[in-house]
Amino acid sequence: MKIYQVKKYEKENKKLWNEFVRKAKNATFLFYRDFMEYHQDRFEDFSLLIFDEKENIKAILPANRVGDTVFSHQGLTYGGLVIDEKTKLSDVIMIFEAVLKFLLKSDTAFLEIKILPSIYERFPADELEYLAFLLNAKLIRRDTLSVIDLNSDFKFSQTRKQEISKGKIEEFEIKEVDDFSDFWDKVLIPNLKEKHQSKPVHSLEEITLLKSRFPKNIRQFNVYKNNKIVAGTTVFETEKVVHSQYISGNKVLGKLESLDVLHDYLISNVFATKAYFDFGISNENQGKNINYGLLFWKESFGARTITQSFYRFETKKYEELNSILL
């Protein structure tokens, strides 16, 4: 049996960490340290690096800690054990055992992981789902993502086509911009405050900083009517997937058709060669309820459901992995 060594991430590991993310089979730009650390003041970082006997890095775990629980980072949309395409299931089992053992010795009772949705994987990477089964991990949440397979014969609904046609008559102007302030200040923040009494996860300063660090991955598309912004979407672009991180429109100035026209343009033109278009979740109440109107709108573009699972592992169960490999 192989022996793996687990170490906490230190600043001097940044180059090593980022290089591993670049070649991993189940990582996106969200796992680079320059993304993870934009909000480092909010979290106690507890990221881990796992090495083999020859001190070669074999896996990483982006993570933070709260009390007796380590989370696969709460500041990220997804996470988990990040590995490369050469690492086989037997190795992942032993690596995860080493991680749980290390966490237990660090006075950590639980490890909570929000699984990376399968569409973001470069290679098959369902090892954590199997480990959750082996260790009887508790499923604490499950979200539904509305996703278009852009290589399939998907179709817009008749209603959506009609709304897009109406929108084109309005002669909206769509622009990709580098400045997020119009969308944040005039559309997104007012709408979230009015509808949900909430704020964007990212402040204007934060999204601007992230754009400067990841200019090819974070993009802003706005819709204008008579030179006034009426709608927009902030896109996170990865190797295979385009994800609308924020979607918002001004009903009074732009009507609902502005968002229809915008997403028709993005899906049919700008990102037509990608594998998937991810509208994200329509869930509320920790996954147990769905905003039906929002879901209906996404599915009218041809989006269908994939799931994202959230698991809680007990670190004390690490020894149960000893007997898996016969």
Model pLDDT for residues 186-195, shown as the tens digit of each residue: 999 999 998 8
Residue 253, pLDDT above cutoff 70: no
Model pLDDT for residues 36-69, shown as the tens digit of each residue: 999 888 999 999 999 999 999 999 999 999 999 9
115: left (phi over 0), alpha (psi -120 to 50) or beta: beta
Q: Where are the beta strands (DSSP E) in the chain?
A: 5-8, 44-45, 48-51, 57-61, 63-66, 69-72, 82-83, 110-114, 138-149, 173-177, 218-225, 228-237, 241-249, 276-281, 283-284, 289-290, 304-314
pLDDT of residue 254: 53
**What average pLDDT does this structure show over 165-169?**
91
Q: Using the 8-state DSSP alphabet, how is residue 79 labeled?
A: B
**What average pLDDT does this structure show over 239-246?**
97
The CATH architecture assigned to 152-274 reads: 3-Layer(aba) Sandwich (3.40)
∠ CA 235-238-241, rounded to 5°: 80
**What average pLDDT does this structure show over 161-188?**
95
∠ CA 21-18-83, rounded to 5°: 25
Model pLDDT for residues 89-146, shown as the tens digit of each residue: 999 999 999 999 999 999 999 999 999 999 999 999 999 999 999 999 999 999 999 9
Which residue, among 5, 147, 9, has the nearest Cα to 65 in the 3D structure?
A: 9
**Mean of all residue pLDDT scores within the chain:** 96
Distances (CA, A) of 265 to 164, 176, 288, 301: 10, 12, 32, 12
pLDDT of residue 195: 81
Q: What is residue 235's three-state secondary structure?
A: strand
pLDDT of residue 171: 86
Tokens found for residue 313: 């592992």
Do the Cβ atoms of 159 and 166 come closer than 8 Å?
A: no
Model pLDDT for residues 283-315, shown as the tens digit of each residue: 999 999 999 999 999 999 999 999 999 999 999
**Residue ranges per structural domain of the chain:** 5-142+309-323, 152-274
Tokens found for residue 148: 């278009």
Which residue, among 89, 41, 30, 86, has the nearest Cα to 64 in the 3D structure?
A: 41
Half-sphere exposure of 141 toward its Cβ, with a 13 Å CA cutoff? 16
Percent of the chain clearing pLDDT 70 (strictly above): 98
Residue 256, pLDDT above cutoff 90: no
DSSP string for 210-233 = HHHH-TTTEEEEEEEETTEEEEEE
Residue at token pair 């690096």: 49
> Which contiguous run of DSSP H or E holds residue 196?
helix 189-196
Q: Tell me the C-alpha distance between 157 and 302, whole Å.
A: 7
Model pLDDT for residues 212-230, shown as the tens digit of each residue: 999 999 999 999 999 999 9
pLDDT of residue 48: 98
Model pLDDT for residues 28-42, shown as the tens digit of each residue: 999 999 999 998 889
Q: What's the pTM? A: 0.94
Same fold, 5-142+309-323 and 152-274: yes
Tokens found for residue 106: 């660090």
Model pLDDT for residues 260-290, shown as the tens digit of each residue: 999 999 999 999 999 999 999 999 999 999 9
Do the Cβ atoms of 249 and 194 come closer than 8 Å?
A: no
Q: Which CATH number, 1.10.357.10, 3.40.630.30, 1.10.1200.10, 3.30.300.30, labels domain 5-142+309-323?
A: 3.40.630.30
Which residue, among 63, 59, 58, has the nearest Cα to 36 in the 3D structure?
A: 63
CA dihedral 301→194→141→102, nearest 10 degrees, is 120
DSSP string for 108-119 = --EEEEEBPPGG
pLDDT of residue 60: 98
Q: Tell me the C-alpha distance between 242 and 278, whole Å.
A: 6
